Amino acid sequence: MSKGTFYITTPIYYPSDKLHIGHAYCTVATDAMARYKRLCGYDVMFLTGTDEHGMKIEDKASQAGVTPKQFVDNIVEGPRGVKDLWKLMNISYDRFIRTTDDYHVTAIQRIFKKMHDNGDIYKGKYVGKYCKPCESFWTESQLVDGKCPDCGRPVVDAEEEAYFFRLSKYADRVRDLLENTDFLQPRSRVNEMVNNFIKPGLEDLCVSRTSFTWGIPVDFDPGHVVYVWVDALFNYMTALGLDNDAHDDLDKYWPADVHFVGKEIVRFHSIIWPAMLMSMGLPLPKKVYGHGWLNFGGEKMSKSRGNVVDPYILAEKFGVDALRFFMLRTFPFGSDGNFTNELLIQTINTDLANDLGNLVSRTTAMVNKYFGASLPAGCRTWGTPESFDQELKAAASGLRDRYEAEMEWFQFQNALEEVFRVIQRANKYIDENAPWALAKDMAANGRRLAHVLYNLLETTRICGVLLTPFMPESMEKLFAQIGADSSVRTWDSAKVWGALPETAAPQKGENLFPRIDMEKELAELEKLQAPAKPAVETEPLAEENVDFDTFCKSDFRAVKVKDCQSVKKSEKLLCFTLDDGTGTDRQILSGIAKWYKPQDLVGKTLVAIVNLPPRKMMGLASNGMLISAVHKEKGEEKLNLLIVDDAIPAGAKLC
Ligand code: MSP
């Protein structure tokens, strides 16, 4: 009998590049949750998919010389594409939505029209900034250093006739939802949303575009396409049948039990999404969980930063289950985690090879060695229990409740910690009982030995059931090795000590998690990952053009360094005295002390822009700016002044 329904979603992915393990992080977590709920007896709907519209996809397709649809088809369905990756990672989704699916397109047009008809979408003029990679509109005041506050990349000016959604109208209700309910988790994200977005005043949201065509057309106003986030967010309901006939599961599964989303898209899910549902008079999802990022080298793993880790390489080397386990065991779900190959190998060696793998292999080997095919009937209750028998049984039979308490709050790391405490306890129990010593005198100790081994098999079984959502394939193998059939792999049986038949036939099988040679594998990984992790990173090219006349106004000159000094009380600045060809010395200050010793620069010919307005720094005047080249090497910021040929005389104009 089903315990009820459970509807869980991942964000739908932009198929603008191949996915990396940062993307897999959220989907693996969602999969573990979905499998856990199925294990508990829920009728689960697990939705994932792809978010295929928007200017970025249109641009990428045109760069690749294909249509946007061909472009996304290849990344979604093609080799090593999104669907292949989910297959590799053993993701048990129930439904996959593509926002280019016909039913979704029609449904979005209906939804947009409904919000237009009810007055919440109106026509106006959009003037502001747009971040192409994030497909996000921003007002000037929301920018950070003039750049996108989410990704830090340059934004472009946007001005056009557009439709707006009356987000401002819902500000109070959304604030109430965030502050006075459990809707958004972890709780720390609530303050972020309220302080950064709601308190400064929610502005109406621009929800249509006319500057590109790769989107869902607004059917009552040709030339407008629906803003990609409106299109994307409603996937959670169109996939169940909202405003379409392709599916009919809304009554059964909506409202969603939880949307898992990365922290940078919490704003869309916890402010814009509920506001639009309020406008449509639809029930709100029960929860949004904003998880942290998987970082690499201290920064969010992402294709544009060039620091992505290829899941195929890791899965081939260490196995999919080890990779799945690592992601959820090592990092608290609500916070960021820094991926390193060392940490991955260490986790596999410690938890999987040493603790779990050893427990299984030692126990099954001892059963076979001392008793043959199976333990003797009756051994479950033989002997007077020792204190450590009691301790082990209590730890194992209470485990399910402790694990459940953590899983219900999406605390995967803590749930796994509970399981591994019991596994460690069981390994200690082997040492406490020294079965090899008992086996020396089977006549005297045979019954005790059988009882000890039974306790170990039973503890392993309970842990195996609870690890199934994380490592489904390996747990199948584990159950086969300890002789646990499907009747004792269930949620109910995980709370019952003694459910494993005494005469179950354990079989020592292949080593579930072989130990990894850290040094050797690290060296190999370094080589394999090198192409994915460029040693040299440069800034993305500017998205915005500068007009030619404006550019020509900049006066670049060759300048010769006559003198260069450190600036007192400044760690960054150097003060240059320069010959700019005019006969009068020019003073320029430059924040490059980290990279150059002043005396090394005297006599060099550099390039400066000389018609910037004068500035004062640390009380000294700076008349222009020296031009340098910046890049990152292995994550570290590097700077090189543009030093030019001595044949170029001071004052020569660069054009
Ligand atoms: N298309 C939107 C989601 C629309 S949902 C209605 C989107 N797509 S995405 O492909 O850019 O990102 C999908 C998910 O992957 C997001 O939740 C994002 O946070 C997550 N991740 C992408 N890189 C990540 C890491 N390095 N670490 C953890 N999660 C990361 O956003």
Asked whether 330 and 348 are in contact (CB, 8 A), the reply is no
pTM: 0.81
DSSP readout, 430-444? HHHH-HHHHGGGHHH
CB-CB contact of 214 with 228 (8 Å): no
Residue 539 has pLDDT above 90, yes or no: no
- Ligand 1 pocket check for 237: Cβ under 6 Å: no
Tell me, using a 6 A CB cutoff, whether residue 14 lines ligand 1: yes
Q: Which of 157-166, 366-375, 415-424 has the lowest mean pLDDT?
A: 157-166
Nearest to 525 by CA among 310, 227, 374, 322: 310
How far away, in angstroms, is 631 Cα from ligand 1 center? Answer: 26
Q: Is the CB of 51 under 6 A from ligand 1?
A: yes
Ligand 1: atom nearest CA of 268 is 6
DSSP-H helix ranges across 11-161: 21-40, 55-64, 68-77, 82-88, 102-117
Residue whose Cα lies nearest atom 10 of ligand 1: it is 13
Convert the pLDDT of each residue in 471-486 to its tens digit.
999 999 999 999 999 9
Whether pLDDT at 534 is above 70: no
User: To which residue do tokens 């040493």 refer?
Assistant: 354
pLDDT digits (tens, 9 = 90+) for 265-278: 999 999 999 999 99
Can you give the pLDDT at residue 304?
A: 66
For the Cβ of 97 lying below 6 angstroms from any atom of ligand 1, the answer is no
Confidence band for 636, pLDDT divided at 50, 70 and 90: confident
Out of 10, 12, 19, 23, give the residue to mutate to test ligand 1, the one with the largest number of ligand atoms within 8 Å of its CB.
23
Angle between helices 472-482 and 442-467 (to 10 degrees): 160
Q: Nearest Cα to 39, choosing from 493, 413, 474, 420?
A: 493
Q: Which protein residue has the closest C-alpha to ligand 1 atom 13?
A: 13
Determine the distance separating the centroid of ligand 1 and the alpha carbon of 11, expressed in angstroms: 6
pLDDT of residue 544: 67
**C-alpha of residue 105 to centroid of ligand 1, in Å:** 22
The minimum-distance atom of ligand 1 relative to the CA of 301 is 26
In terms of DSSP H, where are the helices of 483-547?
Answer: 518-529
Cβ neighbours, 10 Å, residue 540: 11
Q: How high is the pLDDT of residue 49?
A: 98
Residue 633 backbone phi and psi in degrees, to 5: -125, 120
Pocket test residue of 99, 265, 335 for ligand 1, highest count of atoms within 8 A of CB? 265
| pLDDT one-digit tens code per residue, 104-151 | 999 999 999 999 999 999 999 888 888 888 777 787 878 888 898 888
Residue 77 has pLDDT above 60, yes or no: yes
CB atoms within 10 A of CB 242: 21
Q: What is the DSSP string of 290-340?
A: EE--EEETTEE--GGGT----HHHHHHHH-HHHHHHHHHHHS-TTS-EEE-
Q: Which helix (H) or strand (E) holds 639?
A: strand 636-641
Task: Give the C-alpha separation, 477 to 473, whole Å.
Answer: 7
204-234 residue pLDDT tens: 999 999 888 999 999 999 999 999 999 999 9
Nearest to 464 by CA among 499, 353, 472: 472
Rounded distance from Cα 26 to ligand 1 centre (Å) = 8
Domains and CATH numbers, the chain: 338-495 (1.10.730.10), 548-644 (2.40.50.140)
Using DSSP bridges, classify how beta strands 205-206 and 536-537 pair: parallel, antiparallel or unpaired.
Answer: unpaired
